[in-house]
Structure 1
Amino acid sequence: MKKLAFVFASLAAPAAQATDGYFQPGYSIKSNGMGGVGIALPQDALAAATNPAGMALIGNRVDGGLSLFKPDRSVSTTGSLGSAMGPAAGTPITGTYSGNDQSLFLIPEIGMNWMLNPRMAVGISMYGNGGMNSGYSEIFPPLQAGTGVDLQQIFISPSFAMKLDDNNAVGIALNLVKQTFRANGLSNFKAYSVDPNKLTDNGHDSSTGVGVRLGWTGTVSPGLTLGATWQPETRMSSFSKYTGLFAGGAHFDIPETYGLGFAWTPVPRWTLAGDVVRINYAKVKAIGNTADCFYQQQCLLGQDNGPAFGWKNITVIKLGAAYQYSPDLTLRFGWNHADNPVLSSQVFLNTIAPAVTQDHLTLGATYAVSKDMEVSVDYVHALDNSVTGPLPPGFATAGSTETVRMNQNTLGVSVGWKF
C-alpha cells in the first residue's frame, strides 16, 4: 500500500485543475461523464471521494484512471499605472497576458474496495484537487514576468461502509491530505507583507491534515435512491515558507462541503441523477478574506485577518444521465454548474488564481471488455467565462480594469476490474 501511495503521489505532482473553484466537478471518469454526480449513484471504487456510503453498494473492485487536463487562462487590462508605482506612474498597461506557462496536466485516480461480507465494505480512494496553477511569462506591473502559483492537494481516503438494511447504507472516509504550494514573481509586494522573506520565490512548500467525510444513501421507492454527504472543514498545517503571503497563519484549510443527491431509473436502460453541493470557501481565511483592506492600505499580506482571494461560498448543481445502449456499452452525458467564487471587486489578487469557470458539459462511456473488466472514457469541456473588475487604487489610475478568464478541456480513461 505504501508503494502504491508513493506512485500515486508521484503521478499527482504535476497535476492541477480549476473547476468548481479548485474542486473537481467529479471524482472518477464515470462520475465526470455524468456532470460529476455521485452522492446517490456510486459507480466505482472512487465513490468514497463523494459519498463513502456508496462503497457498500459496488462490490469487490479496483479502478484506476488518468486524465489529460488542458486549462486556458489569461488576463486583460486597460488603463495605466498609478501613483504608488513611483516614476512608472502613468505608464499604459492595456494588454492581454497568457497564464499558460504550463498548459497540460495529468490527473490520476485510484480506488479499491473489498466486501468483508454482504453488508460491510472497506476501501481506499486516492484522488486530487488543484486549481490555483498559473504562470505568466509576461504580465503587467506591479506583477513581474514569471508571476504564478501552483497549489496541489492529494487525498488518500480509507473508508468503511455498511448496509443498515436492504435499503439504507452509511459510510465514513478518513481523509489523509497532503498539499503543496509555490508562489513566484511577487517581490514587488514585499513592502506590503508582514514577512517579506516568506512571501515569494521560496520553492514548493507542503502541509498536511486529517479530515473526515460522512455519508448516507437510501432507496426510498423502487428505482429512486437519495443520498447525503458532509465533509467538515479540514485543518491543515501551515505553509511555513509563505507566512508572509497567506492570511490565517498560512493555514490553507480544506473548506467544508455538504450535499444532497438523487438517482432515478424511470424506465429500463435510463438512469437520471443529480447532486446539489455547497462549498464554503469564504470560511477559510487564506481563501475567503477579501483584499479590500489591502487595497485601502489598512492591512498587510500574511496578517491573520489580512487579504486573500475573496472567494465566496458557492453552490454547485450537477445533472447527468446514463443510457445502457447494450449489455456491454453504457453512454453518459451531463452538465455541471457552479457559482463563480471570484467577485468582480477581487480580480487583482485572483490574477494568480483565475478559477472563474462555471459551466461544464460532459460526455462519457463504459465498455465491458469481459464480465470482470471494463474501460471507461470521459470528455469534459468547461465553457469560457470571465470576470471584470477595477484594478486597486494607487497601483493603477482610476478607471483601470482587469478581466480574468478561463476555459478548460479534459479527456480521461479508466479501467475497472471486478473480483
Structure 2
Amino acid sequence: MQNLLGFALPTLFLSALSSSAFATTGYFMHGYGVKAQGTAGASIAAFNDALTIANNPSGLAWLDSRVDIGATIFNPKRSAEIEGNLAGANGQYSCNGREYFVLPEFAVNKKVNDTVALGLAIYGNGGMNTSYKKNPYAAFGNTGEAGVDLAQIFISPSVAWRYSENQSIGIATNILYQRFEAKGISGFAPFSIDGQKLSNNGKDSATGIGVKVGWSAKLNDVVTVGANYSSKIKSDKFDQYRGLFSQAGGFDVPESYGVGTAFQLTPALTVLTDIERINYSDVDSVGNPFSLASVMAGNGFGSEKGQGFGWKDINVYKIGAAYQVNPQVTIRAGYSHNDQPIPQDQTFLNILAPGVIQDHLSVGATWNIDRTQELSVAYTYGLKETVKGSQSIPLNFGGGEANLEMDQHILGISYGLKF
C-alpha cells in the first residue's frame, strides 16, 4: 500500500495539473490548505494540519501524526476591454473559455519522537489560465483562439525539529513541476528571436528545485509567532516557448517570505495576522516590462533581456480568526489584501494574464467527526478588481487602452485523519 501511494499520489496530482490553473494573489495561491483558506491564507503562525508544510514547515513539530487530503474548485471570471484603438481592436473580450478548475492537495506528518517530525506535501503553488474564443489581438495579425495556461505544483518532503520547549525550525524541499501553453499570438513573431517557438506549440513542461524554511515560537500561552522564506527556484526552460519568455524560455518561481502571529485571546478564539512578500520582478519573464522601444533596441521576446509582463513585487496582508464553537465544530473567517502586481501601462500584454485581484474574503469550518477524523470546508471570494490601462497600447499598434477585470469564487474541502 505504501508503494502504491508513493506512485499513485504524485501521478494523480500531475494529471490534475494538466487541467488546473488559477490565480488569486498574482498567480500564487491565497492560502495553502483548506483550513488556511478559511482564514484568507493567514497561517504562518497557525499549525492546523499537515499542509502547514506549505505555509511554515516548522509547524509540523507541534502537530500529531496525521494525513490530510482535499480538493479546491476554482471559478475565475476574467475579461479584457480594448478602447480607443485605431487598428480596429476595440471591444469586450471574455477569456472564460473554461470556467471551473479542480486542484487536489495532499500532506502527511509523522512524529518521529517528541521533538522531530517528518512530512510530505503535494500542492498547487499557483497558475494562470485564459482562453479567448474571440482573439483580442486579431487586429494585429493574430488568428484563432488566444490565451495561456500555466500551472505549478510542488512536491515537498520536509523535516521539523522542536529544539527547545517553545521554539521549532523546519525545512521543506520544493520540487517544482510546471506546465505552460500559449496560443493565438503567432502574429507577434516579428518581435521574437524565434517566431516558431512563440505560440501554438502545445503544452511544455519544466522542473526545478528550491527550499522553504520556517521558524516558530510560542512566546507565552497567548502569543505564537512564525516566519518563513521560500527561495527562488531556477527552473528548466520551456523549450517550446523559447521565443516568448526571456532568456530563451526561462520561467523561474520568485522568492517569497513572510511573518505571522497567532493570538489566543480566549480558549475558544484565535486571531491570526500575516504579512508576506512575493518578488515577482526577480523573474525576468514576469517582471520585465513590455516596451516596443526595447524590442526595437534588440530585446525581442525570448532574448536575454526580453519582454515580460511587467509585474511588480507585492506585499500581502492577511487577518483571520478561528472560533471553536464546541468540541466538534470550529468556524473561521478572514480577509486579505495585496498590492496590485500589474501597472496601468502594462495591461496590453497582460490581457493574457489578468491576475489583478487584490482582496479576498473567506469563511470556513471544521467538523470533528470523532477523535481521529475531521472534515473541513472553506469558501473564498476574490473581489472583482479592474485595472484601467494608461498609455498601455503602443502607438505602432494603434494606441488606446487595454482594461483588465477579474473576480473569483473558490471552494475547498478536505479530510483529515490522525494516526
TM range (shorter): over 0.9
**Alignment partner of 1:109 is 2:105:** yes
Alpha-carbon shift at residue 348 of structure 1 (Å): 0.7
Cα RMSD (Å) of the superposition?
Answer: 1.3
Segments ≥4 residues shifted beyond 4 Å: 293-296
In 2, the alpha carbon distance for the partners of 1:57 and 1:11 equals 31
Give the number of equivalent residue pairs: 409
Give the Å deviation of 1:130: 3.1
The yes-or-no answer on 1:94 pairing with 2:90 is yes
Match of 1:30 among 32, 35, 57: 35
Alignment correspondent of 1:392:
393
How far did 1:329 drift? 0.2
1:388 deviates by 1.4
Distance 1:11 1:307 in 2: 30
Amino acid at match of 2:35: K
- Identify the residue that residue 374 of structure 2 maps to in structure 1: 374
Q: Which amino acid aligns with 2:83?
A: T
Preserved contact between residue 294 and residue 301 of structure 1 (Cα < 8 Å): no
* CA distance in 2: counterparts of 1:236 and 1:161, whole angstroms: 26
Q: 1:74 to 1:145 in 2, by over 3 A?
A: farther
Distance (whole Å) between structure 1 residues aligned to residue 376 and residue 263 of structure 2:
21
Deviations 1:60-110 (A, max 9, x none): 00000111110000001112334xxxxxxxx3x321110101110001110
Q: Which residue of 2 aligns with 1:404?
A: 404
Distance 1:24 1:338 in 2: 12
Query: Residue 292 of structure 2 contacts residue 394 of structure 2 at CA under 8 Å; is this kept in 1?
Result: no
Match of 2:18 among 13, 16, 22: 13
Question: For the residues of structure 2 that align with 1:144 and 1:221, how far apart are their CA atoms?
Answer: 62
- Aligned letter for 1:95? G
Amino acid in structure 2 at the alignment position of 1:380: T
Q: Structure 2, unaligned stretches of length 5 or more?
A: 1-5
Quote the Cα distance in structure 2 between the aligned partners of 1:12 and 1:53. 27
| Cα offset, 1:59, TM superposition | 1.1
| 1:54 corresponds to which of 46, 54, 59 | 59
Q: Which letter maps to 1:268?
A: P
CA offsets, 1:276-305, max 9 Å, x none?
000000011011001124576333111110
| Alpha-carbon separation, structure 1, partners of 2:409 and 2:347 | 23
Percent of pairs identical after alignment? 41
Q: TM-score normalised to the size of structure 1?
A: 0.95
In structure 2, what residue type is equivalent to 1:397?
A: G
Gaps of 5+ in 1: 83-90
User: C-alpha separation between the residues in 1 aligned to 2:47 and 2:53?
Assistant: 9
Q: What are the within-5 Å matches in structure 2 for residues 34-183 of structure 1?
A: 34-82=39-87, 91=88, 93-140=89-136, 141-142=139-140, 143-183=142-182
Q: Output the CA distance in 2 between the equivalents of 1:144 and 1:40.
A: 49
Q: Secondary structure of the equivalent of 1:234?
A: coil
> Whole-Å Cα distance in 2 between the matches of residues 72 and 239 of structure 1?
27
CA–CA distance in structure 2, aligned partners of residues 107 and 333 of structure 1? 22
2:135–2:184 Cα contact (<8 Å) kept: no
Q: Take 2:359 and 2:294, find their aligned partners in 1: how far apart are those partners?
A: 31
User: Does 1:416 find its partner at 2:413?
Assistant: no
Give the TM-score of the pair, scaled to structure 2.
0.95
1:335 corresponds to 2:331:
no
